[in-house]
Structure 1
Amino acid sequence: MSPHATDDALVAAARAGSSVAFARLVDRHQQPLRAFLRRTCGDWSLADDLAQETFLTAWSRLGSLKSGASVRAWLCGIGYRKHLTAARTRGRNRVREAAWLAERPPSIAPMSDERMTLETVMADLPLDQRACVALCLAADFSHAEAAETLGLPLGTVKSHVTRGRARLLEALGDDNDGR
């Protein structure tokens, strides 16, 4: 199989049982998926775990991927649903959340004030809004792709992105919203 094979060709081969083809899909999409999940959940370790779970689920559900559909969007959708499940679990179990925060590894390098502000604002955004911002502003998804990925109406995604962007700009002290 060519290293430049299309996602559709790799999916077809993986559906036929090729673990090599699936490994190529993982290699191709793991960084964008992890980046999305890191922005969405705000924790790199958790995001990496969710990405791994996403690929395990994707392997078992390859048959549900529609022909010609975006593999990246499909994976981000699975990852986002895994993130929501994890968030609900943490919400129901505050003791587990406290233990997770206590075990969080320290940053390797200190963050700039601007980046800390952005991460704080992102963490304060509602889950759906945070995911929309992470996909549309950071991962270059179109509003339509984000809507499909997250299972939200297009208008809702547009509103979430607009409101989230405004909060980020406000936090950075930029009152000019680009108009």
Structure 2
Amino acid sequence: MADSAAEARIDQALVARIRLDGDRRAFEQLVRRHQGMIRAQLRRLLHGDEAAADDLAQETFMLAWRKLDQFRGEARFSSWLYRIAYTCFLQTRRSPVRHDGVDDETMEQLSATTGGMDLRLDLERAMQRLSAAEQAVLLHCVQLGLSHEEAAYVLAMPLGTVKTHATRGKAKLKTWLAAWRDAASTEEAL
């Protein structure tokens, strides 16, 4: 979004219209403005499972409609939505049905067909080795571009904890992916 302050003012105006008279068209505008980023967040959390991400995005917006009176405006509306989406995601993880996307066997087959040196697969594997908190922080801060403060709000974590998870997660990934970098350098030298 080009001018985040202007975008925030538009969201605030739409929220005000909804609160004033239950304007469903204003809510539809909010959904259109934010559905892409919410789906992207959920797809990443669900390792590419688009169907599950779409279901959770729908659930996120239904919850946002029902709980709009709880939006106090202390954070950006988009951060508030990210938080609702993340909470929906956590609730699905607690249920017995898994929404992992790619399973280990499929990952092995993909790796074998690409010669075993596919950085994307290595990165996915490395991300899966991180703690759940480190994964969540890196998703929100690095992949979705939220500030540490916004990620702390979305994840309901203290700011210092978010910064610690970001630092530790990045350090682990750097170490784990060094083998890939070294192998790629060796191939180039040959």
TM-score w.r.t. the length of structure 1 is 0.78
Map of 1:44 onto structure 2: 50
Q: Which segment drifts farther, 166-175 or 119-128?
A: 166-175
Provide Cα deviations, 1:64-85, integer angstroms capped at 9, x if missing partner.
0013531111011011111111
* TM-score, structure 2 normalization: 0.74
The equivalent of 1:76 in structure 2 is 82
Residue 97 of structure 1: aligned partner: 98
Alpha-carbon spacing, 1:65–1:47, altered in 2? closer, same or farther (3 Å): same
2:132 is the counterpart of 1:132:
no
Shift of 1:45: 2.5
Larger Rg: 2
Higher relative contact order (CA 8 A, sep 6+): 1
In 2, Cα distance between equivalents of 1:58 and 1:46: 18
2:16 paired residue number: 12
Give CA-to-partner distance per residue, 1:37-67, whole Å, 9 cap, x none: 2222313322222111100100110000013
- Whether contact under 8 Å (1:38, 1:47) holds in the other structure is yes
CA distance in 2, matches of 1:130, 1:32: 18
Residue identity over aligned pairs, in percent, reads 42
Give the gaps of 5 or more residues in structure 1: 103-109
Q: How big is the alpha-carbon RMSD for the aligned residues of Structure 1 and Structure 2?
A: 2.8
- Aligned equivalent of 2:70, options 64, 73, 88: 64
Who is 1:85 aligned against? Answer: 91
Q: How does 1:117-156 map to 2 (within 5 A)?
A: 117-156=122-161
Ranges in structure 2 where 5+ consecutive residues have no aligned partner: 1-6, 104-112, 183-190
When structure 1 is superposed on structure 2, of 130-139 and 64-73 the one drifting more is: 64-73
Decide which structure has greater helix share. Answer: 2
